[in-house]
Every structure is written in C-alpha cells, then in structure tokens.
Structure 1
Amino acid sequence: MIDDDDLHVWFVREVLPLERALSSYIRRNWRVPEDVLELRQDIYEHVLIGARRALPANARAYVYTVARNHLINHAKRARIVPIEAIADLDAVHRDVDFGMFEAERALSARDELRRAKEGIDKLPPKCREVILLQKVDGLTDREAAESLGVSIETVRRQIKLGMKALFDHMAGGSGRIVRKSYRRNSDHGVRP
C-alpha cells in the first residue's frame, strides 16, 4: 500500500502533466463533449485507486490504459437498456414489423446525413475545411492548424463558428456564420 503523501507527489509529478493530452484523447474518443471533464475525473479516480496498491513504472501508459478501459466500460453501460423498458417484449414482437423500423431508420439517417452535408457546404471554404479535418478526419487542433498553415486559435475560432452554423442549419435555421460586430469608437460618440 502506497502512503497518501507519496501517492499525491506521484500524481502531481506524473499524472497531472498529462491532463491536456488526456482531455484531447477523451474528446477524440467520446461523442458527448459535455462529458469530457466528468470522464477525466472518473479516470483520475481509477488511476489513484490502482496506484494506491503500487505505483506503475510507466505512468503515461498506465493512465491511457485506464482511460481506454473506462471509456469502453462507460460506452457499454450507456447501451444497457433498463429491464422495465423491455418488460413486455413479446407484445411488441406480435404487434410490430421490425423491417419497417429498419427502413425508416435508414431513411432518417440518410436524410440527416444529406442535411449535414448541405450545412457543411454552406460554410465558407476555410471553415468547411477545418470542420472536415477535425470532425470527419479526427485531427486535433494542432494537426489541423499545421495542415492548413494557420494558428491553433484560428482553427478553434473556425470550429466554434462552423459548428454553431451547422447546428443552426440542422435545427432548421439559415446555417449562416454569425460574427460579432464591433462598433468603432466614433459610433459610440467617443472621439479619437
């Protein structure tokens, strides 16, 4: 059993420097961006519990193994349907043609894909390219910035604007990028 002070020192020295990379790893491998912080904290908890028995020789490999396993387990749990939801499954089988559901699901998915493509096509060229590199090809901010020869901040700004416009399009809006307009000093009655 590892002493609490030694565990704390190890965690601060070996694990916390991995926080940014770990967050990126979770973002790339999890569909719900709002879950990243909670998942990271869960992973830290599992890392600490495991390291309490014995400190791992390679902290980075250990943290990523714990992260991968946690994401897999979390995904499996998310797919589990409560028994109450399928209590009368026999009645459902008698009354429903499942082939119809499959066809409807395929048509719905195809329609959403078409709408998403329309929304992406509406984006300005640079914004469209950033969205495709990150959301389709899975590149990180840094990789997309290097690929396009722009700053990481530019990539982040384009993602933010593009995703807002794409969400707006998917919700039935115009799908246009809305930029903040800043007034000049003269518009506020302030003299230069």
Structure 2
Amino acid sequence: METDRKEHFKAQFEKYYPVLCRIAHGYVSDPDDCEDIVQDLFVSVWNHAKDELPDEELGAYLKTAVRNNCISFLRQRQRMGVVSIDDKCIAVSGKSSDEEPVTDYESLLEHVLAAMPPKCRDVFMMSKLQKMRYKEIAETLGISEKTVENHIGKAFKIIRNYSAKHPFTIILLPQLIKTGLWILQ
C-alpha cells in the first residue's frame, strides 16, 4: 500500500510541479526560491497525507497553498530586510539633472508619491498602503466611490508616466504595488 501511495504521489508531483512553479514565479522573481517553495509544499503534502485528496481537490489545495506560501515567503523576506540581487532598483540615467538616482524602495516610493497631487496621493496611500476598500476611503474622505476610482486611476497614470521618464529606476514598482512590499513603516 505504501508503494501505491509513493507512485500516486510521484504522479501528482510530476503533474503539478511545473504549474505550481509558474504560479510561484508570478509572486517570487527568483526561480530557485520558487522551486524551494513548491518543494516545501510537496513535503508538507506528503507529511500531512494531503496527497490522498481527490485529484480536483488536491489541485485546488496546491494552487491555493503555493500562493499562500509565496506571500508568507515575501513577508518573511521583507521582515528580515533581505533583498535578492534580482530585486535591486538600479538607476541608470543619461541626464545630468538635479534628480538623484533612486536606489532604494523607500526613496523610490517617495519620488513617485511626490509626483501626485495631495488628494490623489492620500487616496492612493489609503488604498494601497492601508489596504482600505474604495467604499471605506469614500466614507472617510466624504467623497464618492467614483471619485476614489478616478484618483486611483490618476495615480496609476502618474506612475506610468514616471516609469516612462525613469525606466531603470522603477523596474519593481508594479510588483511592489501588487504585493504590498513597499509599505512604509
């Protein structure tokens, strides 16, 4: 019976491993970290006998678990202050202007936020930093949800324009916004 379980587990591993690595790569840029996360997940699946779930339940479980493990990995890495070489913001500019190259996340965020009008910046920070819903923001500021949507749209337009002007300084900004790794403390 143990041999059957091993064969079944091996088949599930071969079926889901590439899919789970692709999902993990959507969250974590380093392929080695992605593989570690997925392999750790399979160890956990084996240890807790989750491989005995029906196939469709196992697939859903694995996809959810890998996403959650990636988020936990990113949070842990953020707490420890570890940033891989792939995640460095590198400033390369041919201009000799007054602008300082952005080399760390906090100053990158400050530069982008400084480019936004005050109300737009407040709405954006409430939405992305404080993780408030549009309805909550609207109630807090006494504005409509549509106005909140407009401010968020304007903020992202400013971010895109900033990105076009400073292509190498904000390589990670979209990912930082998506994952919430750039929360100021």
TM-score if structure 2 supplies the norm length? 0.41
TM-score if structure 1 supplies the norm length? 0.40
Structure with more helix by fraction: 1
Larger radius of gyration: 1
